Amino acid sequence: MGKRLFILLVVLMSLSLIGIIFVQSFFINNSLENEEKNFTRSVTIALSFVSRDIQDYEIKRFYGLIQPYLAENKEPDSTIIRQLYITTEDDINDQTIIHRNTVLEERFKVPPSLFFEIDADSIDVSNFTSERTTNYYERSTIDGGLAIKPTKTLVEYSNLPEIGKQIYKDSYKTLLRDVPIYKRVTSHQVETLLRRQLKDEGIELDFEFAIYDDDLATKVHTRNFDKSGAYIGVPIFLDNNNESNYRLWVDFPDRKKFLLSSILWMILLSILFTSVIIVAYSSAIYQLIKQRQISQIKTDFINNMTHEFKTPIATINLALDAIKNPKIIADQDKVKRYLGMIKDENKRMHAQVENVLRISKLEKNELNISKERLKLHDLIGNAVDHVALIVEDRKGYVKTHLEAAKSSVLANETHFTNVIVNILDNAIKYSDDAPKIDVYTENIGNNIILKIADQGNGMSKQVAKRVFEKFYREHTGNVHNVKGHGLGLAYVKRIVDDHQGHVSVESEKGKGSTFIIKLPLIS
């Protein structure tokens, strides 16, 4: 996959993921707004019913107080009679029908102290009585337009006709307008009505309420009501013009929690599915990047291996061509020399192949490593002997500082010697000047610490974190400037881990590196 195509795919996938998250957030926010609108509508309906019930209860209560008073007064202060006649002709039954509606309005003087302390000498209260009479006359009984005798009469009585009810209602509204609110309704009444109406609307939440006269608080309120957080209010105690200075406010401290709980399952599912998508996306991107890195590392590995094999093969071909020369073949010394070169180059290629196969077997856990009791100091000495000639040839040194009093470990002699040799070989290869290497040992608790410090090129912290990865080599612009294929330190870590040890590196660019191996001691 090309770099541009890879970047394009990552960008498109990222934009798609961001789009999904945005859509989910928009949908959840929209659902929350709808829930809030429904909640507001339900609360408004409940408050409207409460306002109506409070006013209706007040009017019925005062009408109930007046009725006994009216019954005690035999003589009204004044009486007004209103009559209405309606005449209809019934041609089918040959008769005339006369409807008469009589409304008797009796006015009484009522002392205001019966209800409240009102600044007035008396209050006019009317008692209405309605009588409806329907007379049926045969046309033969009517002489000159005057009914002589009705053939049938229907009479209906009503103590309070509709017009009377409305007059009472309007009169009470005017009368009670100046009465203090706390004398008209109590906090307990309001709370009871509110709780009942809200429950009917499906809202069972704790609430705070208060009745305000314009912007002034009244005595009708709950203890913890806060006007600044009031949710919604409706007018209460409307006058005859449907206006009022009083307003009933209500607040729900747990309103947001209630609204969120209604769509909680939707939020949780959205978070769950979005998280799954993010994890899957991140994993896919990580795998793609890792595969690209592995592909690049393998490409470098193949190039290095090709380079490592190319030189021995070329040397062997040249030696074979030389031996074929009749002049050379007669010279036994030269033939032996060329045969020795062929043998050395063959060993070199064999060692490279063995190194690769060894790492492969370690990865598959197919390499059987037998361990025995060994002195780590002895293994260090053997490893130093392997590289001594190379170090001397480059005018360098390897100094040992074996200060550990105990050095007995359970190890495989061959593999652990190779571990130390590989680290020493790296120190030699990555020293531009004469290699200067110091080897230290010390005991810490039940462990022995081996430190191999050089004064070579060193490495950056980023490289130090990945130096033990298989095939990894620091990129310097020319992957062949130092021979190798990135398997040596991977082999070191794998063998140390197999010995229940730990390996790490401390390094600074231009100041050298220190490899630290920690192994458990055996008694």
Are residues 417 and 382 part of one domain? Answer: yes
Predicted local confidence at residue 516, as pLDDT: 95
Q: Do residue 374 and residue 354 come from a single domain?
A: no
Last residue of a domain, which of 147, 162, 178?
Answer: 178
Kindly state whether residues 357 and 393 are assigned to the same domain: no
Residues 132 and 158 in one domain: yes
Task: Give the CATH number for residue 301.
Answer: 1.10.287.130
Same domain, 418 and 373: yes
Q: In the chain, count H helices and then E strands.
A: 12, 17
Closest listed residue to residue 416, CA positions, set 445, 442, 450:
450
| pLDDT for residue 76 | 61
Is the pLDDT at 151 greater than 70? The verdict is: no
Q: Which residue has the higher pLDDT, 245 or 49?
A: 49
The b-or-e profile of 143-182 (16+ CB within 10 A means b, else e) is: eeeeeeebeeeeeeeeeebeebeeebeebbbebbeeeebe
Q: Give the pLDDT mean for 398-405.
A: 93
Sheet holding 208-213, edge to edge: 216-221, 208-213, 246-251, 232-235
Can you name the residues that pair with 235 across neighbouring β-strands? 247
Say yes or no: 329 and 401 in one domain: no
Q: What is the C-alpha to C-alpha distance for residues 424 and 386, in angstroms, rounded to an integer?
A: 9
Q: How does residue 216 score in pLDDT terms, banded at 50, 70 and 90?
A: confident
At 426 the pLDDT is 85
Q: Does any domain span residue 13?
A: no
Mutual angle of helices 255-262 and 264-324, in 10-degree steps? 60
Please say which residue of 178, 201, 222 terminates a domain: 178
- How confident is the model at residue 65, as a pLDDT? 66
The pLDDT score that the predictor gives to residue 485 is 44
Q: How far is CA 56 from each of CA 75, 158, 247, 267, rounded to the nearest angstrom?
A: 30, 21, 16, 44
Contact 134, 95 (CB under 8 A): no
Please say whether the beta carbons of 48 and 238 come within 8 A. Answer: no
pLDDT at residue 88 tops 80: no
Q: Is residue 489 part of a domain?
A: yes
pLDDT at 481 over 50: no
- Under a CB-based contact definition with an 8 Å cutoff, are residues 99 and 114 in contact? no
Is the domain of 500 the same as that of 404?
Answer: yes
Nearest-CA neighbor of 450 among 397, 409, 414? 409
pTM above 0.85, yes or no: no
CB count within 10 Å of CB 58 equals 18
Number of domains composing the chain: 3
Q: Is residue 61 part of a domain?
A: no
The Cα 324–Cα 334 span in angstroms is 12
Mean residue pLDDT of the chain comes to 78
In 3D, which of 432, 433, 430, 440 has the Cα closest to residue 398? Answer: 440
Contact indicator for 303, 480 with CB cutoff of 8 Å: yes
Domain boundary among 178, 194, 223: 178
Domain contains 274: no
Structure tokens at 223: 């203890």
Together in a domain, 490 and 396: yes
Of 11, 9, 5, 24, nearest in space to 277 by CA:
24
Cα–Cα distances (Å) from 476 to 428, 471, 479, 481, 509, in that order, read: 18, 15, 7, 8, 13
Amino acid occupying residue 468 = F
Looking at the predicted structure, is the pLDDT value of residue 286 above 50?
yes
Residue at 51 is within a domain:
no
Q: Is the Cβ–Cβ distance between 370 and 408 less than 8 Å?
A: no
Contact between 323 and 336 under an 8 Å Cβ cutoff? The reply is no
Choose the weakest-confidence range: 29-33, 56-60, 270-274, 336-340.
56-60
Compute the average pLDDT of residues 388-397.
85
Asked if residue 455 and residue 394 are part of one domain, the reply reads yes
Instruction: Print burial letters for 309-343: b (CB count within 10 Å at least 16), e (below 16).
Output: eeebeebbeebeebbeeeeeeeeeeeeeebeebbe
What is the rounded distance in angstroms from the CA atom of residue 303 to the CA atom of residue 423?
23
- pLDDT for 515 equals 94
- Domain span at 118: 73-178
Alpha-carbon span 260 to 32, nearest angstrom: 7
- Find the mean pLDDT for residues 424-435: 87
- Assess whether 357 and 378 both reside in one domain: no
CATH number at residue 488: 3.30.565.10
Specify the pLDDT at position 374: 93
Residue 208 lies in a domain: no
Residue 193 inside a domain? The answer is: no
Predicted local confidence at residue 94, as pLDDT? 74
pLDDT tens readout for residues 503-518 = 999 998 888 999 999 9
Mark whether 413 and 506 lie in a shared domain. Answer: yes
Predicted confidence band of residue 375 (pLDDT cuts 50, 70, 90) = very high
**Rounded CA gap, 143 and 86, in Å?**
19
pLDDT at 479: 39
**Which of the residue ranges 168-177, 423-432, 441-450, 510-519 would you say has the lowest mean pLDDT?**
168-177
- More confident site: 256 or 164: 256
- The whole-number average pLDDT for the span 472-494 is 59
Same structural domain, 406 and 511: yes
Domain presence at residue 272: no
